[in-house]
Structure 1
Amino acid sequence: MRLLVAALVTVVSLGLPAVTAAPAAAAGCAPLQSGASPAAEAAVEVACRYVGQQYAWGGGHAQGVPGPSQGQIDHTSPESYADPELWSFDCIGLVRWAWYKATGRDLITERTTQATFEAPGYAHTKFHKSQGSGVLRPGDIMYFGREGFGPTHVALYLGNGKMVEAPQSGMNIQVNDISARWERYQGAFRPHADVTPMVWSWDGRGSFHKTWGQPNLRQNSNTGSGINFTNGNGISVKVRVLCQRVGERATVDGMVNNVWSFLPDYHSWISNLFVQGPAVLKDVPSCGDFPEIGGTLAGAENNTSCGDGTEPNSAGAWTAKSTTVFGRTVELRYNGTTECAWGRITGGAPGDEIWVDRSADGGRTWSPMLGFTTITTGNDAYTTQWNDSGLVMRACGTNGPGGAIECTGWF
């Protein structure tokens, strides 16, 4: 969230666009020679789908859950300062995801390039620099670094002297010649693993959403089912959601939700309490549209977690922005668990007004007076809550009809 200044007042209708689920492989990025295992060829295919996406330092390092995740700042690299705005991969994060998608096993885990070189942790064949590049096959994991200092970079070999890599902050995932890095080449690993068609189910279907917190990804839509994955360090991961259905009602930090989403890349379910956005995800169909999965959204309207126009009912909310109008305090209340916000006016009198505005373009235009309400008795009032995921909002209040209007900053 950023503080953004409004420049133009225009009323607009806000909508959250659907996000395509699976990128297409880039031209020229593919297994370029024979001899690789089906799993290795599948790993190459996965990595090639991300060519052109921006590198994110630390991306792909959620503990226990592979996949594109929120980047971090590398304080030795000013180019990385915008990486927390990206959900993508660094070099080893891309390799981790590629081999996971190919095998259904998190072979690499969230470890660093150096750690995976010193102790791969999976069955493999190792190749040394002295053996040259002729022994390499598509999908082999190549390591690069300064002699005597250990590896600092990793890439997937494509064949014919080419590799696909996530180079560094400020650059995109791309295909390059291995000759450009050969001086620093230190060796390669070839994982011994079978391809698992399961993880390719519903390929190209669904939409991307972001997690929060430390969710368990489960075998079914209830908290008593087995756990397939656990996000141990809370790094937000961009996950592909195929469909959603009503399951067991779950409670986290005072928020309640009985809707669960199916994540085909993990063949697992996640409570929507751990997916950023409203209680029922916008533009995600019911699992009843997929007979092999099944389930409906009947009863989802009874949730108290974030949904446009619903009552705020959560622990952990805080005041993101505030201002005053003739002695009244106007606040934009925010809940980081669900990314919902609402307005509150305190210290007022009957007739005082409170509402929120919401903008999809940083405050240049906005949808006005959402949740408009007035103080009817006492001194305080608050609006209903509104989805603030990927948007900005502000609260506005008056000292009665026709009085002065004051708005908080955008958040």
Structure 2
Amino acid sequence: MLLAVVMAAACLGLPATTTAAAAAPAAPPATAASTAAREAAAACAPLKPGASATAVDAVEVACRYVGWSYAWGGGHAQGLPGPSQGMIDPTDPRSYGDPKLWSFDCIGLVRWAWYKATRQDIVSERTTQSTWQNPGYAHTKFTKEQGEAPLLPGDILYFGTGITHVALYLGDGKVVEAPNSGDVVRVADARWDRYQGAFRPHTAGVFPVWEYDGLGQHVKTWGQPNLRENSHTGSPVKWQNGNGISVAVRALCQRVGERVTVDGMVNNVWTYLPDYRSWVSNLFLQGPAVIPGVPSCGQYAAIGGTLDGADSNTSCGDGTEPNSAGAWTAKSTTVWGRTVELRYNGTTACAWGRIIGGTVGDEIWVDRSSDGGQTWEPMLGYTTVTSGGDAYTTQWNDNGLVMRACGTNGKGGTIACTGWY
């Protein structure tokens, strides 16, 4: 059993003023990997008749995520529901790895389930407590004293003194919930000793819940993107990410649209997101200018468009000037007092080399490998220190590859290379 204080730390939710955690590179949403997890997901379903079609849809959505790792703060991008980057709860050491996960906390899961069932963000980006005090949507309220009898699948149940947890009811005393850091979205017995009441939203669904079901791949946003009705900036905004928390969105297809420039990066490719029926400029998706593995929208007759002309983008062009905004040192080493660094930008998936603390004539370059470092393209971006003690190479696409930086203490000197990243 979990103590109430632990549940408070785990499922409190985040206020709208919370800022985004630093983006963790190459960390996809954690999904079920075991047979047991898949069996648990199959067992997640409405267990009592009488629920509305919309409520049944909300349950079906939540059940799709059984086995996904819990992430504290997950699901709390302001204005944009969906699995988002977790954060560290300073009261819970189990949460220290949550920034590497894109998933949900308890209210984030409920928010997403009811959004997908209605295509309205009725729960919105608020704390568990605030949604209990003021749901913000038309509803029927059930009190603790009424017990389990009137509840139906899809009802939003609240638990804990002070309200510390929320879950979706399934029936037969079961809920689907995102419990706490270190655990996964699961089906569990409702804790009736901690139950405080429930809400049943009054809202109709929009079908189908899962358009292009089973297609697309998750990619991560960065910054504060606008999701638009079409692939140009004059198109109406349908969704906005107001606080910059990175969300894992399902990318169905890509096409060339309006050329957009942000912070010196240029891209004319846009991606269609079926879960929002919206388009987003690829400048706001982490990775290279054209997302690998996501097809042209031309293969979907109802959407259309091609990637013709996408090769002129510069968000991660090989041999271009590095974009240092948000970049960090992924690997480093030293050579005769100089520091050799592999710099990495998780937004553009570009990397480059830098040498600092050296002298004129010191060398710096990067190697790139597609087989984990067994073989590599050598000496990309080779340059030398021409004045002062520092120099850096041009940037190179590191998406799905590994790279390292190498430097010397002058021509003919000792060569030192960082580890592969």
**What TM-score bracket applies, with the shorter chain setting the length?**
0.7 to 0.9
Q: CA, structure 1 residues 83+20, in 2 after alignment: closer, same or farther (shift >3 Å)?
A: closer
Alpha-carbon offset, residue 54 of structure 1: 1.2
Inter-partner Cα distance in structure 2 for 1:101 and 1:188: 20
8 Å CA contact retained: 2:28, 2:102: no
Deviations 1:97-119 (A, max 9, x none): 00001110001011011000000
Tell me what 1:354 maps to: 365
2:181 is the alignment partner of 1:172: no
Aligned identity (percent) is 65
Which residue of 143, 151, 166 maps to 1:154?
A: 166
Tell me what 1:311 maps to: 320
Tell me what 1:283 maps to: 293
Tell me what 1:85 maps to: 100
Inter-partner Cα distance in structure 2 for 1:269 and 1:371: 38
Q: CA, structure 1 residues 18+303, in 2 after alignment: closer, same or farther (shift >3 Å)?
A: farther
Deviations 1:202-250 (A, max 9, x none): 1111011111111111111111111111111111111100001111111
Letter in 2 for 1:368: W
Alpha-carbon offset, residue 350 of structure 1: 7.5
Which residue of 93, 101, 108 maps to 2:123?
A: 108
Inter-partner Cα distance in structure 1 for 2:181 and 2:303: 40
SS at structure 2 position matched to 1:105: coil
CA RMSD of aligned residues (A): 3.2
Tell me what 2:207 maps to: 197
Inter-partner Cα distance in structure 2 for 1:317 and 1:115: 33
Inter-partner Cα distance in structure 2 for 1:371 and 1:357: 9
Inter-partner Cα distance in structure 1 for 2:143 and 2:272: 42
How is 1:50-65 mapped onto 2 (pairs within 5 angstroms)? 50-65=65-80
Letter in 1 for 2:183: M
Letter in 1 for 2:169: Y
Inter-partner Cα distance in structure 1 for 2:323 and 2:101: 28
8 Å CA contact retained: 1:357, 1:395: no
Q: CA, structure 1 residues 373+113, in 2 after alignment: closer, same or farther (shift >3 Å)?
A: closer
Tell me what 2:228 maps to: 218
* Higher relative contact order (CA closer than 8 Å, sequence separation 6+): 1
Tell me what 2:15 maps to: none
Tell me what 1:368 maps to: 376
Inter-partner Cα distance in structure 2 for 1:129 and 1:319: 50
SS at structure 2 position matched to 1:186: strand
Tell me what 2:149 maps to: 134
Q: CA, structure 1 residues 331+34, in 2 after alignment: closer, same or farther (shift >3 Å)?
A: same
Tell me what 1:12 maps to: none
Tell me what 1:10 maps to: none
Letter in 1 for 2:113: A
2:281 is the alignment partner of 1:271: yes
Tell me what 2:61 maps to: 46
2:177 is the alignment partner of 1:186: no
SS at structure 1 position matched to 2:193: helix
**TM-score, normalised via structure 1 length:** 0.85
Alpha-carbon offset, residue 297 of structure 1: 0.7
2:308 is the alignment partner of 1:293: no
How is 1:114-125 mapped onto 2 (pairs within 5 angstroms)? 114-125=129-140
Deviations 1:150-201 (A, max 9, x none): 21100100012111111111111111122xx101100000001111115421
Letter in 1 for 2:136: G
Q: CA, structure 1 residues 161+392, in 2 after alignment: closer, same or farther (shift >3 Å)?
A: same
For structure 2, list consecutive stretches of 5 or more residues without a partner in the other structure: 1-21
Inter-partner Cα distance in structure 2 for 1:88 and 1:381: 39
Letter in 1 for 2:282: N
8 Å CA contact retained: 2:216, 2:294: yes
Shifted more, 104-113 versus 24-33: the winner is: 24-33
Which residue of 48, 54, 63 maps to 1:33?
A: 48
Alpha-carbon offset, residue 314 of structure 1: 3.3
Inter-partner Cα distance in structure 2 for 1:359 and 1:202: 32
8 Å CA contact retained: 1:214, 1:231: yes
SS at structure 2 position matched to 1:82: helix
How is 1:3-22 mapped onto 2 (pairs within 5 angstroms)? none
Shifted more, 384-393 versus 25-34: the winner is: 384-393
2:400 is the alignment partner of 1:385: no
Tell me what 2:269 maps to: 259
